[in-house]
Amino acid sequence: MKIILDTNFLLIPAQFKVDIFSEIERIVHEPYELFIVEQTIGELKSIIEKQSGKKRQAAKLALQLIKQKGLNTIKNFQKGIVDDIILSIANKEFAVATQDKGLKKALKKKNIKIITLRARKYLVIS
């Protein structure tokens, strides 16, 4: 299984003190690889430049985790919003980890597995 991590999902460790990587390990019962889309790094850098305080720290931690965990990057040449790019890439062999309501709704229509945070404590897959 290939799992795409959305930008807002990568902010969870700093915002809610949840280890998303051990949680994914706990809920996914098959071999998997973790991915981000290339534009996610741009979104995180933009947050660092434009935001302050907790959001900025969360984005910095997210960039560190991407490097530390060696996440695979999906390179694509589409311009636009990361959610739209994820939606265009995702198919049956993918799951998408996100907190974005609009993206979750669109993924459900395509019958794509979704990983989300519940009760600010643990991850679930649906």
CATH code, domain with 71: 3.40.50.1010
29 band by pLDDT with thresholds 50, 70 and 90? very high
Per the structure, how many domains does the chain have? 1
pLDDT of residue 76: 76
DSSP-assigned states of every residue in 20-88: HHHHHHHH--S--EEEEEHHHHHHHHHHHHH--HHHHHHHHHHHHHHHHHT-EEE-----S-HHHHHHH
pLDDT of 34-85, one tens digit each?
Answer: 999 999 999 999 999 999 899 999 999 999 999 999 999 998 777 778 888 9
Q: Tell me: pLDDT of 31 over 80.
A: yes
pLDDT of residue 62: 97
pLDDT of 80-124, one tens digit each?
Answer: 788 889 999 899 899 999 999 999 999 999 999 999 999 999 999
Residue 60 CA to residue 46 CA, distance in Å, equals 11
pLDDT of 11-26, one tens digit each?
Answer: 999 999 999 999 999 9
6: which DSSP letter? P
The amino acid that residue 117 corresponds to is L
> Residue 120 sits in which domain range?
2-125
